[in-house]
Amino acid sequence: MSENEPRVIVALDYPREDAAWRLIDRIQGDLCRLKIGKEMFTRLGPGFVEKVIARGFEVFLDLKYHDIPNTVAAACDAAADLGVWMMNVHASGGRRMMHTAVERLAQRAHRPLLIGVTVLTSLSEAELNEIGFPGSPEQNVARLAALAKDAGLDGVVCSPREAASLREASGDDFLLVTPGVRPASASLDDQTRVMTPGDAIRAGSSYLVVGRPITAADDPLAALHAINAEIQAVLS
Ligand code: C5P
């Protein structure tokens, strides 16, 4: 990670392509990265990803692959062919699934970043236990993050509330990508356990995934600039 690179990843969560372009047309690739998830990818396909990249943005393709090792590795290879900057897999797919994907991507001259999803933050402890993961969400996050690191992944997606302990456990080079970020003045929307951009960076977050505080703002560019300024104030 370089000092001056953008730390914000804007979540492009729109049901329609024209709404996404209304935002993209107002921002620039040196201010943020863009996250394309299951909704937009399923509606618009890989062509949309390629168009966004051609417009000068680095893209986090958030498709959270989880399948047998060969299938996940092939999907990661296909995502890398699109030219994405970052992609992710479920750490609960296991060490061999993650490691096979890492090895496949390592064959490329320019390897995208591969990030693990530990425990979905929507799962309660009871739901987690019901699907066969004993212990608290925090214990499972710590265990799966360690497994992801051991399997060679570049980092994990986590809540900013988990960033400080994961940073301590996993060292400086492991990437922590954190959604659940809200500027002090912004609406919480449906997020409950949030942190401000400055506090998330202080806690050890590498990249902040921010959606509605930017995408639903009257002036998305101003909202993005304000978040970047808050981050820079912590970093400098
Ligand atoms: O609009 P908002 O800032 O809440 O968007 C956050 C983005 O991060 C959304 O794309 C959401 O799906 C994603 N995300 C999240 N919490 C997680 C994992 C992903 O909010 N635990």
Q: Going residue by residue through the chain (236 aa), what tens digit of pLDDT does each one get?
A: 887 899 999 999 999 999 999 999 999 999 999 999 999 999 999 999 999 999 999 999 999 999 999 999 999 999 999 999 999 999 999 999 999 999 999 999 999 999 999 999 888 999 999 999 999 999 999 999 999 999 999 999 999 999 999 999 999 999 999 999 999 988 998 888 789 999 999 999 999 999 999 999 999 999 999 999 999 999 99
Element (H, E) at 65: strand 59-65
Å from CA of 28 to ligand 1 middle: 21
The yes-or-no answer on residue 149 being catalytic is no
Contact 130, 137 (CB under 8 A): no
**Rg of the Cα atoms in the chain:** 17
Question: Cα–Cα distance between 48 and 159 in angstroms, integer?
Answer: 28
Residue 222, Cβ neighbours under 10 Å: how many? Answer: 12
| H helix intervals, the chain | 17-24, 38-44, 46-54, 69-82, 95-106, 125-130, 137-150, 160-170, 197-202, 212-215, 220-235
Binding pocket residue ranges, ligand 1, CB within 6 Å:
11, 13, 37, 121, 157, 179-180, 189, 191, 209-212
Contact 158, 206 (CB under 8 A): no
In terms of Cα–Cα distance, which of 77, 159, 70 is closest to 121?
Answer: 159
pTM attached to this predicted model: 0.96
* Strand-strand pairing, 59-65 and 86-90: parallel
For ligand 1, atom 14, name the residue with the nearest CA. Answer: 179
Structural domains of the chain, with CATH: 8-235 (3.20.20.70)
In terms of Cα–Cα distance, which of 96, 203, 225, 93 is closest to 158?
Answer: 203
